[in-house]
Amino acid sequence: MAYSDKVLDHYENPRNVGTLDKNDPNVGTGMVGAPACGDVMKLMIKVNDSGIIEDAKFKTYGCGSAIASSSLVTEWLKGRTIDEAYAIKNSEIAEELALPPVKIHCSVLAEDAIKAAVADIKAKQAAKETA
């Protein structure tokens, strides 16, 4: 199967690979997995006091499309609010990367990773407020 140029670019030069301090109260972590192919994706976002995402890092073990999807979303996330991040749809990711139908699930994985990371940061913030 041929990958699109954008997938290849992200696959060969993935942006923002790495981790953030998971114990930082301003860092949210999203971990998801795709049983269909055994891919695992970890996405971490650092949010400032105004709810803007300042930094995003990812670590993905999976195929080129899964790596490209997570690399792309880390670029998209920076500068967005967590609510804007939550609204990102897998179809936007799939379209940007020109993913073929059999690889759509990679973009689903990336969307779910964002949602999980946002849910984690919201839970951390709620815990901080009640503390």
Partner 1 sequence: MSLNYFELFGLEPIFNIELATLESNFRKIQSESHPDRFVTASATEKLTAMQQATLANEAYLCLKSPANRAKYLLELQGITAISETNTAMPMDFLMQQMEWREATEDAVSAKDIGALDNLLAEIRLEAKSLQESLVSLLDAQKDYITATDATRKLIFIDKVSEDINRAIEQIDI
CA dihedral defined by 32, 113, 126, 25, rounded to 10 degrees? 90
Tell me if 78 contacts partner 1 by CB under 8 A.
no
Q: Which stretch binds partner 1 (CB under 8 A): 9-17, 74-82, 91-99, 108-116?
A: 108-116
Tell me if 38 contacts partner 1 by CB under 8 A.
yes
Q: Which stretch binds partner 1 (CB under 8 A): 4-12, 25-33, 47-55, 71-79?
A: 25-33
Selected binder of partner 1 within 7, 14, 42, 73 (CB under 8 A):
42
54 or 92: CB nearest partner 1: 92
Tell me if 40 contacts partner 1 by CB under 8 A.
yes
Closest CA to 60 of 32, 22, 99: 32
Selected binder of partner 1 within 8, 17, 52, 104 (CB under 8 A):
104
Residues contacting 65, CB < 8 A, separation 6+: 3, 7, 97, 99, 103, 106, 107
CA dihedral defined by 67, 69, 70, 74, rounded to 10 degrees? 130
